[in-house]
Structure 1
Amino acid sequence: MENPAAKSTNPWSWVPTLYFAQGIPYVAVMTLSVVMYKNLKVSNTDIALYTSWLYLPWVIKPLWSPLVDLFRTKRFWIVALQFVVGGSLALVALTLPGPMFFKMTLAIFWLMAFSSATHDIAADGFYLLALPEHQQAAFVGVRSTFYRLAMIAGQGGLVYLAGSVQEWTGDFVRAWTIVFGVLAVFFVVIAAVHSFTLPKPASDVTSPRKDNFFASYFTVFAEFFKKKEILSILAFLLLYRLAEAQLLKLVNPFLLDARDQGGLGLTVKHVGVVYGTVGPIALTLGGLAGGVVISRFGLKRMIWPMLVIMHVPNAVFILLATTQPENLLAIGSAVAVEQFGYGFGFTAYMVYMMMVAQGEHKTAHYALCTGFMALGMMLPGMAAGWIQDHVGYVNFFVWVMIATIPSFVAAAFLKIDPAFGKKAEAAVK
């Protein structure tokens, strides 16, 4: 059944900018913070542990996702929270030069993470309300593309900018202060733009409330956990990215660490190019290819090939850690192979979450799915730095390959609607 949306509004006029804006705070919290703390001499163990805790807002966001349904419109939440995120970015820039920068910036990243997680609830719900089902599947690749472009701008362009400013000033604190200041100004501007450009779909209204608020609140959760095959659903959501959750936490430290410590000894600027630009471009292309494949063949038919293509390329990091090449082209090519596979396979995960969320409470149920996804990223990521510090990079990447096995087991128990996703051949045009 299609949603009553504002069909006269072309999705190309708002889907790209909405998901670009969604990606900016996430990349700031999850990626820029890691590079920044590494530059400021924080240990791998502390980086992995404390920045993994920043996933918590995305894990527990289902607890307040019904509030987004029950109060105001999704459009209101999107614009308001974008201004809050812009203010948080400015606060990071203001507190970095202080003596307690680590504690202060972590606290602000927490605020940013909570705001971003709530923004994700509203944005994903808005997406499901403003587009009919066939376009939801078709625009998976488009939204992924612009989300990844935000990653390129953030972990590519801004990391490169930080490296350039540091080379000019000799001061990483000043470099990252400038980076977060620039990012704050940009995000406030894009929030102001969205206050005018986002459409107003007829279905974007507050959900009807029962006389008892708490009855309405808990009904949303109860209906999710009454879904058929809920245990298989939860196992898949938690285990699909078990290996990738650990890998992602240590890629930047691996690229930056000195060669005698098992790393590749790249400069910050080189990391901005290799992992911040080449990687997200490959990730984007993989996501686009995944969206096209699912639109043509359906999720049920493609889930196993996409699972294999996502996980097997992780082995390139074993090769990099073993050989420690100095050639940037070789390093960039290996990263591109891994990131393309990750983008291709992750599209299947996104479409599966959309399938699970179908029903009366799409916004809250999609938020529940992404909450379990975030939990599946947070817990393995917390231990990744400790594991690497004890076994070294080569053995750590071997362990990552072993950690792909549970996702294959979880996929074997899925029940997938054969028709879902296979309705969108011309919907993105």
Structure 2
Amino acid sequence: MNSTPANRSPWSWIPTLYFGQGIPYVVVMTLSVIMYKNLEVSNTDIALYTSWLYLPWVIKPLWSPLIELFGTKRLWVVVLQFFVGAALAMVALTLPGPDFFRWSLAVFWLMAFASASHDIAADGFYLLALPTHSQAAFVGVRSTFYRLANIAGQGALVYLAGELQERTGSMKTAWSVVFFVLCGLFIAMAVYHRFMLPRPETDKPVPGGGDTLREFGRVFARFFAKPGIVVILGFLLLYRFPEAQLLKLATPFLLDKPELGGLGLSTKQVGIAYGTVGLIALTLGGLLGGWVISRIGLKRALWPLILLMHVPNVVFLLLAMAQPHSLWIVSSALAVEQFGYGLGFTAYLMYMILVAEGEHKTAHYAICTGFMALGMMLPGMWSGALQAWLGYHWFFVWVLVATIPSFAMAALIKIPEGFGKKAEA
């Protein structure tokens, strides 16, 4: 029996769809780093090769027309979830082998392209399956379940890997089991969505592929013709310049032994401190940042939020200097840093919305997200080699110095008065 938006509650598919959207991203971007660190891959190789995994999100606007032209969004979602499930099983199978790094990395590449494509299909399906008023009502639900996927991935799954390692005595076995569990979850999710996703009448291939591709080229041209495009791109690429380098070395720093400059936490402790406490603080910071912008507007909020984003990075320097043994102290410090990052990131998201204003809003926002990913990919690639050369202490000093380009670009951008501020009743 065909399901339609009229007789299928959005609660039956939106939470699972966006939980499923978040899991492969956190696997590729975060779990891969922790897993490779557990398996004694060098920080230089971890940062370089896992940063390349951002590339599918950088270039995803280039192939988004294919998802418009061929098949339905519903079909793309289900097929890609089956593909991600198969890729997760392939990672599990590669880990016991002697050349696990090369083969698992290749599978992560495939998973990253599938995940980026799933993002396009899922977001497009959401717009087609719900009327406009319902889209607004469920945007918070989307965000919440995406965040829960991050907490489950960086928190629960990392803790599970640590627990399994303690029981089996093998980190490879532990991570293999984790990825087989994820495989089962995704296969079950794909089967569930095969039957539970609605079938909106508007979900069909776009006719006239040649015209669509020509229009797509015009959309790109209009984006790069925006006034002040050089400053816009500079801001998109450099706003998170320090965070892009810090992110790749945060978990290796927590896991490395004290004699190497790290904190010597166990995998389970990282799952608690960074993957659970830190992510909850990040979410709360994001909610507060959005509220602040809605009250005073982006122009007035930008400098307080960018300061609150970058200044807390000093906690990593303090942790490297003090090397505390208390999980409570480490968790509290990470909560401060992640809360500040959540606050500052809302300003970045709102600026992308501003840049995308006007005709072709959806496509221009997608292009902004591509530059956002590029701004994370390039600095992350050299961060591991830089840390290996400087050591953790001086690397975190460099991260603080690296905030200067971000502040400089924030001083150059132009924001209309009152943008983002909630209209007075």
**What is the TM-score when the length of structure 2 is the normalising length?**
0.90
Aligned to 1:37: 36
Deviation per CA, 1:42-72, whole angstroms, max 9, x where unpaired?
1111111111111111112122123233434
Q: Using the alignment, how far apart are the partners of 1:422 and 1:13 within structure 2? A: 33
Aligned to 2:299: 300
**Could you tell me whether the CA contact under 8 Å between 1:311 and 1:404 is conserved in 2?**
yes
Q: Using the alignment, how far apart are the partners of 2:11 and 2:285 within structure 1? A: 20
Over 3 Å counting, the alpha-carbon distance change for 1:311 and 1:130 in structure 2 is farther
Over 3 Å counting, the alpha-carbon distance change for 1:70 and 1:235 in structure 2 is farther
Aligned to 1:316: 315
Deviation per CA, 1:332-360, whole angstroms, max 9, x where unpaired?
00000001111121122223323333455
**Could you tell me whether the CA contact under 8 Å between 1:299 and 1:420 is conserved in 2?**
yes
Q: Using the alignment, how far apart are the partners of 2:144 and 2:179 within structure 1? A: 23
- Runs of at least 5 residues in structure 1 that lack an aligned partner in the other structure: 1-5
**Could you tell me whether the CA contact under 8 Å between 1:65 and 1:364 is conserved in 2?**
no
Over 3 Å counting, the alpha-carbon distance change for 1:15 and 1:315 in structure 2 is farther
Aligned to 1:3: none
Give the C-alpha shift of residue 394 in structure 1.
1.1
Letter in 1 for 2:88: L
Give the C-alpha shift of residue 247 in structure 1.
0.5
| Aligned residue runs from structure 1 range 21-420, under 5 A | 21-126=20-125, 142-198=141-197, 206-207=205-206, 209=208, 211-212=210-211, 214-418=213-417, 420=419
Deviation per CA, 1:74-97, whole angstroms, max 9, x where unpaired?
444333322221111111112211
Give the C-alpha shift of residue 406 in structure 1.
1.3
SS in 2 for 1:412: helix
**Could you tell me whether the CA contact under 8 Å between 1:353 and 1:369 is conserved in 2?**
yes
Provide the identity percentage: 68
Q: Using the alignment, how far apart are the partners of 1:141 and 1:238 within structure 2? A: 27
Letter in 1 for 2:343: F
Letter in 1 for 2:392: Y
* Worse-matched range after superposition: 252-261 or 116-125: 116-125
Over 3 Å counting, the alpha-carbon distance change for 1:80 and 1:298 in structure 2 is farther
Q: Using the alignment, how far apart are the partners of 1:46 and 1:410 within structure 2? A: 30
Give the C-alpha shift of residue 371 in structure 1.
1.0
Letter in 1 for 2:248: K
How many residues are aligned here? Answer: 422
* Worse-matched range after superposition: 131-140 or 58-67: 131-140
Over 3 Å counting, the alpha-carbon distance change for 1:356 and 1:365 in structure 2 is same
SS in 1 for 2:412: coil
Give the C-alpha shift of residue 225 in structure 1.
1.7
**Could you tell me whether the CA contact under 8 Å between 1:137 and 1:421 is conserved in 2?**
no
**Could you tell me whether the CA contact under 8 Å between 1:121 and 1:364 is conserved in 2?**
no
**Could you tell me whether the CA contact under 8 Å between 1:149 and 1:280 is conserved in 2?**
no
**Could you tell me whether the CA contact under 8 Å between 2:277 and 2:335 is conserved in 1?**
yes
Give the C-alpha shift of residue 323 in structure 1.
0.5
SS in 2 for 1:190: helix
Over 3 Å counting, the alpha-carbon distance change for 1:81 and 1:68 in structure 2 is same
Q: Using the alignment, how far apart are the partners of 1:305 and 1:286 within structure 2? A: 13
Letter in 1 for 2:105: L
Give the C-alpha shift of residue 398 in structure 1.
1.0
**Could you tell me whether the CA contact under 8 Å between 1:69 and 1:363 is conserved in 2?**
no
**Could you tell me whether the CA contact under 8 Å between 1:141 and 1:288 is conserved in 2?**
no
Q: Using the alignment, how far apart are the partners of 2:395 and 2:167 within structure 1? A: 35
**Could you tell me whether the CA contact under 8 Å between 2:296 and 2:418 is conserved in 1?**
no
Give the C-alpha shift of residue 13 in structure 1.
5.8
Over 3 Å counting, the alpha-carbon distance change for 1:315 and 1:77 in structure 2 is same
**Could you tell me whether the CA contact under 8 Å between 1:137 and 1:295 is conserved in 2?**
no
Over 3 Å counting, the alpha-carbon distance change for 1:425 and 1:42 in structure 2 is farther
Q: Using the alignment, how far apart are the partners of 2:15 and 2:416 within structure 1? A: 28
* Worse-matched range after superposition: 74-83 or 52-61: 74-83
Q: Using the alignment, how far apart are the partners of 1:228 and 1:8 within structure 2? A: 46
CA RMSD of superposed structures (Å): 2.9
- Runs of at least 5 residues in structure 2 that lack an aligned partner in the other structure: none
Over 3 Å counting, the alpha-carbon distance change for 1:292 and 1:171 in structure 2 is same
